[in-house]
Amino acid sequence: MSIHNDIERVFYSHEELQAKVKELGEAITRDYQGKSPIFVGVLKGCFVFMADLMRSVDLPCEIDFMAVSSYGKGTKSSGVVQINKDLSFDIAGRDVLIVEDILDSGVTLNYLKGYLENRNPASIKIVTLFDKPSRRKAPIYADYYGYEVPDEFIVGYGLDYAEKYRNLPYIGVLKHEIYE
């Protein structure tokens, strides 16, 4: 059985995603000239996007990862944020870009941004491939985002449902019967 059969329709093709990521990388390169930012990826969903984004940024930079969850195996945020893996090094005085696959309720990113601000970075900005403002519950926005998406359950290119579908090379809308 192919995982492609679980997709109702393709929302963004692989080619569209690559063009948008390149555009985001060029904007970050322009805005951070003379600096060497640290990209903090929020696992697990960010890994595909972050790898492509890093290759589109023409600056000296570093990476680190955090594992933060508020979803569990569901389709909606539980509202309780848990840090499962923290940063490996100090970000004091550094320009930090938090990289996330999708900004949905904002609960996780709002918590994470506040958590990292307590470590005295020079700046913190948020980069997300997808912004879903219709579901926002926390007062947070992305400084860089690729696409604003409607309130549909999308998967692929790192985004999952119950740890599946991350390996799709495109973004697709998951069929309702899969998660209902």
Does residue 36 form part of some domain? yes
For residue 104, the enclosing domain spans 15-149
Does residue 158 form part of some domain? no
Q: For residue 8, what pLDDT band results from cuts at 50, 70 and 90?
A: very high
Indicate which CATH number applies to the domain containing 65.
Answer: 3.40.50.2020
Does residue 172 form part of some domain? no
Q: Calculate the alpha carbon distances from 156 to 8, 45, 85 in Å.
A: 12, 9, 23
Give the torsion sign (CA, 175, 170, 101, 45): positive
CB 179 within 8 A of CB 165: no
Q: Which positions are annotated as active-site residues?
A: 104
Does residue 180 form part of some domain? no
Q: For residue 180, what pLDDT band results from cuts at 50, 70 and 90?
A: confident
Does residue 9 form part of some domain? no
- Tens digit of each residue's pLDDT (9 = 90 or more) over 109-155: 999 999 999 999 999 999 999 999 998 999 999 999 999 999 999 99
How much is the mean pLDDT over the chain? 93
Does residue 165 form part of some domain? no
Q: For residue 73, what pLDDT band results from cuts at 50, 70 and 90?
A: low
For tokens 């109702």, name the residue.
Answer: 8
- Tens digit of each residue's pLDDT (9 = 90 or more) over 159-173: 999 999 999 999 999
Does residue 102 form part of some domain? yes
Does residue 161 form part of some domain? no
- Count of structural domains within the chain: 1
